[in-house]
Chain A
Amino acid sequence: DTEVTQTPKHLVMGMTNKKSLKCEQHMGHRAMYWYKQKAKKPPELMFVYSYEKLSINESVPSRFSPECPNSSLLNLHLHALQPEDSALYLCASSLYTSGAPGPSTDTQYFGPGTRLTVL
């Protein structure tokens, strides 16, 4: 089973709202990722959690706040977003992030994404 789930599927929010995106996996993966994808562009890495600790923040604005409550769950808290933040937000997971790469360790599996619209 290589399933990563994300909720909600769609989200419309105003610039003053606070909302959260949720991601879950039950594959025993210890690395989880948030990506942002704009139309006709590749996914852009935002954050990486490794063993529930934030290991990479790609200089993402503070209006995006990630959280990893446990090894299966990843949240992205949103506050005071701008219309240009409208995008597809993707969660991914892999078994590990570090060490020798191999098919069982660094392959990333993506969830279905949350389509976010900021009005």
Chain B
Amino acid sequence: QKEVEQNSGPLSVPEGAIASLNCTYSDRGSQSFFWYRQYSGKSPELIMFIYSNGDKEDGRFTAQLNKASQYVSLLIRDSQPSDSATYLCAVRDGNEKLTFGTGTRLTIIP
């Protein structure tokens, strides 16, 4: 059973601080890693994808991948109240399926 694990939270972060979201996965053959943001009652929205070890930055977001440790993270700098949402980590293995973690609920406190 391929697993993707996230801390369900809630994770509370003051406005302007850095939010750090973590995800571990069990399948060493996993090749693609995604972070989706989901507001309550809405559909998942792609934030970032990462394929190679290291960091990938896009605006206030940085994804970090460490395949040896089977670990992927998302950092949100200068957190805003609009960043309050559930963040889903998703991992694609060698077939067509995307396995989602249970999501981390993030609350940014003004």
Give me the interface of A with B, judged by CB distance under 8 Å. Answer: 2, 31, 41-43, 45, 48, 50, 55-56, 88, 90, 97-98, 101-103, 106-113, 115
- Bitwise, B81-110 to A at CB < 8 A (1) or not (0) is 000000010101000111011110000000
Which of B92, B98, B101 has its CB near the most chain A CB atoms (within 10 A)?
B98
Give me the interface of B with A, judged by CB distance under 8 Å. Answer: 31-32, 34, 36, 41-46, 49, 51, 88, 90, 92, 96-98, 100-103
B32 surroundings in chain A (CB, below 8 A)? 101-102, 106-107
Which of B49, B96, B101 has its CB near the most chain A CB atoms (within 10 A)?
B96
Determine the main DSSP class of A at the interface with B.
loop
A43 with B34, Cβ < 8 A, contacts A112-B43, A113-B43 known: no
Nearest Cβ on chain A to B72's Cβ, whole angstroms? 14
A42 with B96, Cβ < 8 A, contacts A90-B44, A101-B51, A107-B49 known: no
